[in-house]
Chains A and B, each alone.
Chain A
Amino acid sequence: MQQILHIILYKILAFIKPEMDFSLRGIVKSVGSTVVYAGFAAGAFIVALRALDFLLIEQRIGLFLLHRFISIVLFIFFLSVNVGNIVVSYSTLFRSPEVAFLLTKPINPVRIFVIKFFDNFFYSSGTLLMVLVALLTGFTWYFKINVFYSLILFLFNFLPFMLSAGLLGVLLLLLLINTTLKFGFRKVVSVLALGYITIIIVFFQLSSPMDTVIGVMKFFPNVDGYFANLIPAYIKFLPNNWLAESMFWMAKGEIQQAIPYMVLQVSLSLVLLIIVVLVGKANYLKTWHKSIDFQENTRKKAEGSKVFSFEKPSIFKNPLTDVLLKRIFIFSFVNRHR
């Protein structure tokens, strides 16, 4: 544990040190990027307020329908974070020179695995996290949810929700690398892509937004209630639903109703974290080695490929003879014409 804390401490130190370019250009660049990021955040905040205003005041869709839509958006978002993590984790966990550096030190590989996962999760998702926090702030601002509950919503529902997506991503990545070596990259990626498409189709088959809209609109104008029967049973087991439900109850001011969903969300992320640590402990180093072998093998094959090779092999087997004859040729013929 001490070693993990030591690594994290120095990684934080390296992260928080400001950019060292104190020239006018550097300062302008830093100020510029801060303005752009702040602009993104402010934009997301305003969009959240406007969208909520439009849907609830102008379209009068009601709180329940609004949160069903939020649940759908969160589902797509969950899949995006999940796929994004598969891609980014591959480069941070299996191609990073930092991992190679740490592997040469007396550090248990599972520690490297966990540190690099969180490093990747917080660092690469930084911008996305910022925009989403701005959107969430827009939501809590609109419904006048106090700062304390907003923080609870963020820390105990939103963050574990994202973490679960990332953890599932890294689990899939380990599976992907191991199966790729057995069945080939194209086959495995095709199956994975097919799997994601199937999940999306099944999700929309099970929770048709059209059916939900029709179901809720039967009760118009009393559309702010909780229509439990309109939520399909399967959807109740999904983390996007838990987050949407929490937001719904918080928007209604019934915080205690939101707590069970937070417990579920945190529990899921903890269980996934334990699974990831156990799988990483058993497989990370093995998978790292397999991945390196695969990369080297691919590189060697590419080097061996003569398709784009412009090399003209010498007819002389001994390189000394080759060099000597070339020199004699240059000395006798080429230089004579100068």
Chain B
Amino acid sequence: MIQFKDLTKKFGSFTAVNSIDLHIRKGSLYGFLGPNGAGKSTTIKMLTGIYSLSGGDIVVDGISILKEPQKIKMITGYIPDQPYLYDRLTGKEFLFFCGGLFGLEKKNVKLRIDEMIETLKLGDWLNKRTEEYSQGMKQRVAIASAFLHHPQLIILDEPMVGLDPQSAVLVKQFLKRKSEEGITVFMSTHSLNVVEEICTDVGIINKGKIIFSGGLDELLSMKNELSHNFETLFIELTSENQN
């Protein structure tokens, strides 16, 4: 579904992402791990069009981001770590706004909103202004907005940050279900538990380079072989790479 081909991002003399090659298969729930400043968010921002590419290419479902970025955006939903919502609009108005950006008809958006109310437990909150929302509720509305247009790919940047346990469980269940339905989920996270709990594939990035990429089972067998817990394995992998 996604192919990073020799992807590079430089800021002046600093290389944030260094010639990474990755292939994320369709329908996988890919956990993108790495310590702070490793290049996770930079990779995601290139994938979503916020950052330009210094080198290489990203291909989503056979479409090159360099050639047809708008086509990729049509099949993608993006949920940033700090969701941007229009404060004065209600959640429902915001969802209608987002649906319209993808050219969806109002009646279709309404149907989708009704589905989302149920699955994401948005309830009456949708009729309140988004400025009244907690971080968890903002994240849920942002997730709902990203799924309105039936995307094939969902990109999430640190989705669990600032979530209360109830929202976190809900989001994890929702993402798992969507992945089972065939939607590809690409998610950067700090949380090793989240990866262990819901991801099917894992990639670890450190200092802009991919140091591990494969199925979760591969990582788990590695963990068992070394008799480590997940945290220790992660720290070892990233610190080995540093040294």
Contact = CB atoms under 8 A, between A and B. Distances in A.
Given A104-B73, A106-B73, A296-B11, A10 B97 contact: yes
Nearest to B54: A293
Interface string A294-311: 001100110000000000
Nearest to B242: A317
Nearest to A295: B11
B196 interface: no
Given A106-B73, A107-B101, A319-B239, A10 B11 contact: no
Interface string B99-115: 01111000000000000
Given A104-B73, A105-B101, A317-B243, A13 B235 contact: no
Interface in A154-181: none
Interface stretch (A69-77, A93-101, A189-197): A93-101
Contact of A20 (B11, B70, B97, B129): B129
A235 interface: no
A198 interface: no
B11 A106 contact: no
Interface string B44-61: 000011111000000000
A108 interface: yes
A12 B98 CA distance: 15
B101 A318 contact: no
Nearest to B79: A104
A274 interface: no
Interface residues of A, number: 33
A107 to B, nearest CB: 6
B78 interface: yes
B70 A106 contact: yes
Contact of A289 (B52, B96, B102): B52
A98 B84 contact: yes
A10 B73 contact: no
Given A104-B49, A297-B14, A318 B239 contact: yes
A293 B52 contact: yes
Contact of A292 (B51, B129, B236): B51
A25 interface: no
Given A20-B88, A106-B70, 4 more contacts: A10-B96, A10-B97, A97-B84, A104-B48
* Minimum-distance CB pairs A-B, first 6: A289-B52, A101-B84, A297-B12, A106-B73, A6-B100, A14-B88
14 contacts: A3-B103, A6-B100, A7-B101, A14-B86, A14-B89, A100-B84, A102-B101, A103-B49, A104-B50, A105-B98, A105-B102, A296-B16, A317-B243, A319-B235
